[in-house]
């Protein structure tokens, strides 16, 4: 069975973008892969996180992932900081990756913004740590949203350079799994911007713990245009907000843009938005209810994460030890 790895930052409540772009696909691949799901707190601190909030968000993320259907018995769910191998391999990758490669990363440019001199050094080498996450397990498939494509290409470049420099066939090539009609969910206020946990406007996103009324209100207020829905996907080409809502609808119903348009061609947004809001409430409210229930038993969540970390370490430690031997670190064993 191919090994799958993916991660999510505990930097806030996950959004509909995280759910449709990533988490839902995690659940789908669990049936026929051996999966490792990681809450990446080392990545989260590349931008400032108040310590108490980081702890709470890490637990909440674990609860949300379990509520969405992550199966911690058949697969592994754990916190990145609990397995030292990630940071150890990341250091080696800091010395393999080239500065020129990192300079091309668009996510760094977006996140650092105008004041690049003041961004953390961690934010700059973030993709090297992400490569280490995956390669520490010899994982070959990585389900993510479309925004992570460039980071996965870099992870392959790092593996190739390592293999080439040390003349080994040690790290395998990885295949991104970027699936479905909502691999890039856009902001509800601006169809050209990604929906994000860190957007200052809460109206720009659906959070997985939003209640029924909040979901309905956010969808009703979502930016759209005055035209009715077209009958073909081509008709969405210059209508990013319309395209986004249709994509969300398609993902939630496990269909595609064309199918949704066939059903709703000619509808105004009043009607379509109300159908979309109902669908969102139907799919998301059981997740919110289950998350709340799981958060009631903090000790049980900690037990799950601890068992996950032990099993993750058992896979990663020998792989990273071998990478260290390849590099030429003298073993004391
Ligand atoms: P992050 O919240 O940045 O840790 O992202 C976790 C996962 O969610 C990654 O696989 C991202 O690609 C995915 N993701 C984040 N935002 C979106 C979005 N707006 N649309 C689709 N996927 C997303
Ligand atoms: N960088 C990813 C994001 O923000 C999260 C992440 C960290 C990840 N390590 C990973 C995703 C390894 C896939 C595999 O979306």
| Strand blocks (E) in the chain | 3-8, 34-39, 76-79, 141-143, 175-177
Ligand 2 atom closest to the CA of 8, numbered from 1: 5
pLDDT for 110 beyond 80: yes
Same domain, 310 and 179: yes
**Rounded to 5 degrees, what angle do the CA atoms 229, 230, 234 make?**
130
Long-range interactions of 105-113: CB distance < 8 A, separation 24+: 105/150, 105/151, 105/154, 106/150, 107/147, 107/150, 107/151, 111/47
The answer to whether residues 269 and 176 belong to one domain is no
pLDDT given for residue 271 in this prediction: 95
Question: Which one of 148, 149, 153 would you pick to mutate in the ligand 2 pocket, going by the greatest count of ligand atoms within 8 A of its CB?
Answer: 148
- Find the mean pLDDT for residues 135-154: 98
- Residue-wise pLDDT tens digits, 202-257: 999 999 999 999 999 999 999 999 999 999 999 999 999 999 999 999 999 999 99
The pLDDT-based confidence of 127 (bands split at 50, 70, 90) is very high
- Distance separating alpha carbons of residues 77 and 179, to the nearest angstrom: 21
281 and 316 part of one domain: no
Looking at the 3D structure of the chain, how many domains does it have? 2
CATH number of domain containing 220: 1.10.240.10
pLDDT > 80? residue 180 = yes
Query: Do residues 51 and 133 share a domain?
Result: yes
Per-residue confidence band for 332, with pLDDT thresholds at 50, 70 and 90: confident
Residue 291 pLDDT exceeds 90: yes
Residues 288 and 253 in one domain: yes
| Residue 193 in domain | no
Same domain, 314 and 276: no
pLDDT of residue 198: 87
Same domain, 222 and 308: no
Domain range enclosing 133: 3-183+298-327
21 Cα to the center of ligand 1, angstroms: 6
| pLDDT for 145 beyond 90 | yes
10-26 pLDDT, tens digit each: 999 999 999 999 999 99
Same domain for 133 and 277? no
What's the 130 CA to ligand 2 centre distance in angstroms? 6
Is the same domain home to 111 and 155? yes
CA of 184 to the centre of ligand 1 (A): 8
Q: Let me know whether 178 and 225 are in one domain.
A: no
Q: Residues enclosing ligand 2, CB less than 6 A?
A: 5-9, 40, 43, 130, 133-134, 142, 144, 148, 151
**Which of the residues 197, 212, 223, 283 is marked catalytic?**
197
Atom of ligand 1 nearest to the CA of 43: 4
d(CA 12, CA 141): 26
Q: How confident is the model at residue 333 (pLDDT cuts 50, 70, 90)?
A: confident
Q: What is the CATH number of the domain that holds 158?
A: 3.40.50.620
Mutate-to-test residue for ligand 1 from 46, 145, 207, highest number of ligand atoms within 8 A of CB: 145
**Do 130 and 36 have their domain in common?**
yes
Provide the edge-to-edge strand list for the sheet that holds 34-39. Answer: 76-79, 34-39, 3-8, 141-143, 175-177
Cβ burial 155-165 (10 Å sphere, 16+ → b, else e):
bbbbbebbbee
Assess whether 218 carries a catalytic annotation: no
Asked if the model's pLDDT at residue 96 lies above 90, the reply is: yes
Residue 275: its pLDDT value, please? 97
- Nearest ligand, CA of residue 80? 2
Q: How far is the CA of 145 from the centre of ligand 2 (A)?
A: 9
Please tell me the predicted confidence (pLDDT) of residue 106: 96
């Amino acid at each position: 069975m191919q090994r799958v790895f993916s991660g999510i930052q505990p930097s806030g409540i996950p959004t509909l973008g995280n759910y449709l772009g990533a988490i839902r696909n995690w659940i789908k691949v669990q049936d026929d892969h051996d999966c490792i799901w990681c809450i990446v707190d080392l990545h989260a601190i590349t931008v400032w996180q108040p310590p108490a909030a980081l702890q709470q968000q890490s637990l909440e993320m674990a609860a949300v992932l379990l509520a969405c259907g992550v199966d911690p018995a058949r697969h592994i769910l754990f916190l990145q900081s609990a397995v030292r191998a990630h940071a150890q391999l990341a250091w080696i990758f800091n010395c393999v990756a080239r500065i020129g490669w990192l300079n091309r990363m668009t996510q760094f440019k977006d996140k650092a913004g105008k004041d690049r001199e003041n961004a953390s050094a961690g934010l700059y080498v973030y993709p090297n740590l992400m490569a280490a996450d995956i390669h520490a397990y010899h994982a070959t498939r990585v389900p993510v949203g479309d925004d992570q494509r460039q980071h996965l290409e870099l992870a392959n470049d790092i593996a190739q350079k390592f293999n080439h420099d040390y003349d080994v066939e040690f790290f395998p090539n990885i295949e991104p799994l970027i699936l479905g009609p909502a691999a890039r969910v856009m902001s509800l206020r601006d169809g050209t911007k990604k929906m994000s946990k860190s957007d200052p406007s809460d109206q720009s996103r659906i959070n997985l713990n939003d209640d029924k009324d909040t979901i309905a209100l956010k969808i009703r207020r979502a930016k759209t245009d005055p035209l009715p829905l077209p009958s073909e996907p081509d008709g969405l080409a210059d209508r990013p907000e319309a395209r986004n809502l249709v994509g969300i609808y398609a993902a939630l119903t496990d269909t595609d843009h064309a199918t949704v348009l066939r059903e709703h061609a000619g509808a105004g947004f009043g009607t379509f938005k109300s159908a979309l809001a109902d669908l969102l409430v139907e799919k998301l409210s059981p997740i919110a209810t289950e998350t709340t229930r799981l958060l009631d038993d903090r000790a049980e969540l900690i037990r799950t994460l601890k068992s996950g970390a032990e099993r993750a370490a058992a896979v990663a430690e020998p792989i990273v030890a071998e990478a260290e031997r390849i590099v030429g670190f003298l073993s004391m064993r």
